[in-house]
Amino acid sequence: MRRLLTMLLVLLSLQGCGYNTLQSGDEQVKASWAEVLNQYQRRADLIPNLVATVKGEASFEQDTLTKVIEARAKATSIQATPELVNDPEAFAKFQAAQGEVSSALSRLLVVTENYPSLKANQAFQDLRVQLEGTENRIAVARNRYIQSVQAYNLTVRQFPTSLTAKLFGHHVKPGFTVADEKAIAVPPTVDFGAPRPAAQGASR
């Protein structure tokens, strides 16, 4: 009976000190991070088809394609596991690599404006729509992750849950805080309605 009472007291004290809140918050962060990874993977899966379609345009700038391929290779070479959110340095490298993919894709889509045959290619247009939709999903998933991390980190830092966090080894988790956060947190801006410069139009 004494042992049972002791266990009940321990459980009640843990609950009062935010133990359950920490566990719940940790699971929420993991779930939201898994969705971020899911959307990044979806984008990575679309890129080979996009590149293959664009390669059909014989005169397309190879340097632009190469940068997309290299950025994807770099991003997918990083092992993106749930534990990544507990390693600020690895997390920063991962998000920087994904930022390079966003930048390279944005450049690719802008350059395709100069190729009427690509604009008229239905397969390319379908891939472009899927890619833009995925960028939107990435932005939503990232925002949810940011919110869940903010809530969790607040719990870790607040007293008295901060004592419980230290006792059980809970630490603040990294958020998306790279310098170009604003640039990579939103879908690439592609203006397909903008007129091309007269010089370019005359040269083709």
Sorted by where each starts, the structural domains of the chain and their CATH numbers stand as 22-203 (1.20.1440.20)
Which tokens is 156 given? 């870790």
Q: Are 137 and 39 in contact (CB under 8 A)?
A: yes
Tell me what pLDDT residue 58 has. Answer: 67
Mean pLDDT for back-to-back runs of 10 residues, the chain (204 residues): 51 61 89 93 94 84 91 91 83 91 92 87 92 94 93 88 81 69 44 36 37
pLDDT of residue 2: 59
- pLDDT for 202 equals 36
Q: Check residue 185 and give its pLDDT.
A: 43
Q: Residue 135's pLDDT is what?
A: 93
CB environment 10-36: b (16+ within 10 A), e (fewer): eeeebeebbbebbeebbebbbebbebb
Per-residue pLDDT at 134: 95
